[in-house]
Amino acid sequence: MSSRKFCVGGNWKMNGDQKSIAEICKVLSDAPLDANTEVVIGCPAIYLMFARNLLPCSIGVAGQNSYKVAKGAFTGEISPAMLKDIGADWVILGHSERRAIFNESDELIAEKAEHALSEGLKVIACIGESLEEREAGKTNDVVARQMCAYAKKIKDWTNVVVAYEPVWAIGTGKTATPDQAQEVHAYLRQWLAENISKEVSSSLRIQYGGSVTAANARDLAKKPDIDGFLVGGASLKPEFVDIINARK
């Protein structure tokens, strides 16, 4: 096993209310979670403080988005400084839903990541290809392009986790096979070694995301270059505990 600490993120997306969030926080608080796995919950912004107060200190909380400057006339946006102020220590950036639905560019996402890191947040930096791109054999080109944008802005990768999420597998019930996922993760490590440094390539954690469930998490977790998961729908269910404990 690698020395990289396994890291599992739960991305609740635009789901939950005070009642359901209190229930899932209780499940996570009471469950015997693998102490060797870092756990981060991406909670809707208005419930971040609520969730932070209900979760044990060992579980991190993340914003699901943040803007590229600290404050100003940006109606509807939140800044990393605001996330930090209410107890969040992470932010998820570049998720495929932000790219596809809200038309966020590689460049904007990289600027957001640069600013979040400078403000002291840790970043889950998302990448991944669409079904059309995979079928055209462009997977490596797409993830390399997305990584290039991040690399232009990120100089210190210590507080970054990369989440590889094949867009065709998010919420569709289709999962990349463990071998398909490992192939892209291995390519990303090679890319990091050639374009950033061997040190970053060996130390940076790369999560897999895309219809991760309790049923497939163990097989995915056995792969040498998969260092955790970014989990969508299943992170709202009790089975999230089994996903966190996939290496136990």
Just list the catalytic residues.
Answer: 95, 165
**Cβ 13 vs Cβ 41: under 8 Å:** no
Give start and end residues of each alpha helix (H) in the chain: 18-30, 48-54, 80-85, 96-100, 106-118, 131-135, 139-153, 178-195, 198-203, 214-221, 240-244
Give start and end residues of each alpha helix (H) in 31-155: 48-54, 80-85, 96-100, 106-118, 131-135, 139-153
Instruction: Give the whole-angstrom CA distance, residue 198 versus residue 176.
Output: 27
Q: Is 211 left (phi over 0), alpha (psi -120 to 50) or beta?
A: left
